[in-house]
Structure 1
């Protein structure tokens, strides 16, 4: 799909052939183009109103780069990113009205919040910046309501970040994000720094907020259990590209790409595929500077053939309902994922 200049009307979030490369300083290729990190290499997706999409994959696959493009922190190398029908490039999101449409909830609330300020200042500042409350009394009332939404009492307004726990601090981060009345929350590993019990409470809170406020979520995570609980759809990312996209139920019950199966094989037991044969990973993740030719996963795939090393796979529908980029999809299904069926032709 080639990028156009018109977003899909029904989509709250849309990526069109998004590419983000980073130049590599100090490295030169004789007679060739300057080397770059292929962080994101031509991904497209749509997220509808009130829908939650999770982007999952190993560290370094490009998930957080997508998040930063969506909130206007990074300029795409090419392609387009739209939120609520508006381009979200940094030059565009300087407009306060555009910035309100999408808000980021980051992995570390400690780095996202000013520790010297009170919770009152942290939560009311967006109200003042965006002109969403006419006076101090209105901002105070709205701050109390925002804390109520995230399950914190009003007396927390007089506390500072150092006075509350990590889970409570992440709730403050969410309250601050909601202050701008966004349509989309980009959740970048929102539970990664929390222990198991606090994590479960926060996941339930995020699910309740989406239902109550009609928010759309783009969830960036390597935690498959979080994706399963919060996402309607899942996009599996590997080395800058989506390899499998589909409804969360289909991805978890009928995974078709070898990489998806390997991720689920390493997941907690309740997320495993059951009796379906697995696809064990081999080797290490290749460099994002020198990406493999053909299918980028072929260097770690036990089913790869010579064709996989030469030809780039196009997305195609899989029997389980997902869309998969794999040249051996039909052969693997026919062979019941037997490694011995692999050939080099």
Structure 2
């Protein structure tokens, strides 16, 4: 079955002065299948949001290729492929025009993709979309400044649904919301996935959100994927030292739970990333080879569907 999103050795670098670059994404290969939820997790600044924009064609890769619904992302992407994968940003206030009504914003994809024949049909469909995300149809007459942040994020989801997508790229969809509102948005996404068969590419630094939503997880560190696999296995038995430190930092109700590792230091500069394994300056297991060799993302023997980019994977996997 054709992946809805497919990244093949994608690299993206932002140019700076004096021939310097921000190494945002380096050689990433990922795919999202129909009905799958792939969570890309990691610290802020590791390149997750750049990856999200590459996945929907908002950015052009410096190297490698991005495909959407089987088509190469770019100016020639067909209308059908553009509709297939939609985008929801982390900041609903910036995503919606404050001067336009919510009905206008939600209905715009219906016009762009020619999914309705007139104003009455568009208004009816906008009302259906708002109700589908748990908002009153009357909100169509409101402007963004008149409703809450959680309601605004539901509006951006409704707008994405207007194009009748097969998958949605969600860039930190709950990052700007308080705890109670986060739960309602997560439940909404779960309900929509079940009822519509949607796939999600979920970008998040909130591991509890990834645990609730994801079927698969890719762990990203300084532009590279360092571990990938089914969510239950990643959360249950992490292999890469960075994944272990992320999980150790998760708040848990059981204070007696064994802590895996403590994450020390700051994320290195993406302008001058470390040689070798980018995680080696913060890794308690780093050896001399880690300082010079970039580890490949490999599938350990006997662990189908799992992959880890660590030179010492076999040595530390049972530690």
Alignment: residue pair count: 317
For residues 57 and 190 of structure 2, what CA distance do their matches in structure 1 show? 25
Distance 1:195 1:288 in 2: 30
Paired position in structure 1 for 2:51: 66
Return the match for 2:186 from 166, 190, 203: 203
Q: With structure 1 as the length reference, what TM-score do the two structures score?
A: 0.88
Q: Which residue of 1 aligns with 2:313?
A: 329
Residue 100 in structure 1 maps to residue 92 in structure 2? no
Instruction: Give the match for residue 277 of structure 2.
Output: 295
Shift of 1:320: 6.7
Please give the secondary structure, in 1, of the residue aligned with 2:61. Answer: coil
TM, length-normalised to structure 2: 0.95
CA distance in 1, matches of 2:237, 2:76: 40
For residues 273 and 20 of structure 1, do their structure 2 counterparts lie closer, same or farther at Cα, with a shift above 3 Å needed? farther
CA contact (8 A) 1:232 1:248 kept: yes
Cα separation, 2, equivalents of 1:289 and 1:11: 32
CA distance in 2, matches of 1:122, 1:285: 38
Residue 272 of structure 1, CA deviation: 9.7
- Structure 2: 5+ residue stretches without partners: none
Q: Which segments of structure 1 move beyond 4 Å, counting only runs of 4 or more? A: 270-273, 318-321
Candidates 120, 132, 145, aligned match of 1:137: 120
For the residues of structure 2 that align with 1:172 and 1:285, how far apart are their CA atoms? 34
Matched, 1:43 2:35: no
Superposed displacement of residue 196, structure 1: 0.5
CA contact (8 A) 1:265 1:272 kept: no
Shift of 1:273: 11
Cα deviation code 1:248-300 (max 9, x no counterpart): 1111110011100101111121599943x622223221111111111111011
Quick one: distance in 1 between partners of 2:41 and 2:237? 16
What SS is found at the alignment partner of 1:64? helix
Provide the C-alpha distance between the structure 1 equivalents of 2:93 and 2:180, rounded to a whole number of angstroms: 20
**Kept in 2: contact 1:13–1:84 (CA 8 A):** yes
**Superposed CA offset, 1:61-117 (max 9, x none):** 01000111122221100111112111223x234x54332222111111100001111
Is the aligned partner of 1:247 residue 2:230? yes
Q: Which whole-Å CA distance do the structure 1 matches of 2:233 and 2:218 have between them?
A: 11
User: Could you tell me whether the CA contact under 8 Å between 1:234 and 1:251 is conserved in 2?
Assistant: yes
Alignment map for 1:141-152 (pairs within 5 Å): 141-152=124-135
Q: Provide structure 1 residue ranges, at least 5 long, that are not aligned to the other structure.
A: 1-8, 28-33, 337-345
- Distance verdict in 2 for CA 1:270–1:43, change over 3 Å: farther
In 1: Cα distance, 2:204 partner to 2:53 partner: 14
Q: CA RMSD in A?
A: 1.8
1:126 aligns with 2:118: no
Q: Could you say which structure has the larger radius of gyration?
A: 1
Structure 2 counterpart SS, 1:209: helix
User: Residues 200 and 271 (structure 1 numbering): CA distance in 2 closer, same or farther, change over 3 Å?
Assistant: farther
Higher relative contact order (CA 8 A, sep 6+): 2
Q: More deviation in 13-22 or 265-274? A: 265-274
Describe the superposition over 1:139-166 as per-residue Cα deviations: whole angstroms up to 9, x where unpaired: 1111111011101111111111111111
In 1, Cα distance between the equivalents of 2:303 and 2:254? 17
Matched, 1:18 2:2: no
Matched position secondary structure for 2:226: strand
